[in-house]
Amino acid sequence: DIQMTQSPASLSASLGETVSIECLASEDIYSNLAWYQQKPGKSPQLLIYYASSLQDGVPSRFSGSESGTQYSLEINSLQPEDEGDYFCQQSYKFPLTFGSGTKLEIK
């Protein structure tokens, strides 16, 4: 199975700052990486797919990138509504696997 190692587990940042969340795949997943945001009590929402493609309706301050098997989600100009949990997911092959999640707090 492909392991997705996500970091950090939590982070706190101020309004307007830029943060980055990382996911390291245990093997090559050929850009088949998605990022989700989940707010308390809500279902996950797709932000990014194929490592860097922005889902319809998602603000452009969200972006994704990759370097080898390392994938990153960057959020620029943090807004209050960006507070929540973020998960990566590899969609390359079954069994599908998610990262352990990052809890983002806006100070």
Distance of CA 75 to the CA centre of its chain: 9
Size of the residue set binding other proteins (CB under 8 A): 23
Q: What share of the chain is helix, strand, coil (3-state, %, to 5)?
A: 5, 50, 45
Cβ neighbours, 10 Å, residue 12:
12
Is residue 1 a contact residue for other proteins (CB under 8 A)? yes
Q: Report the nearest approach of other proteins to the CB of residue 97 (Å).
A: 7
Is residue 89 a contact residue for other proteins (CB under 8 A)? yes
Cα–Cα distance, 88 to 71 (Å, whole number): 9
Is residue 37 a contact residue for other proteins (CB under 8 A)? no
Nearest to 25 by CA among 86, 77, 67: 67
Is residue 30 a contact residue for other proteins (CB under 8 A)? no
**x-marked contacts with other proteins along 40-59 as a string, rule CB under 8 A:** ---xxxx--xx----x----
Which positions touch other proteins (CB under 8 A)? Answer: 1, 32, 34, 36, 38, 43-46, 49-50, 55, 87, 89, 91, 94-101
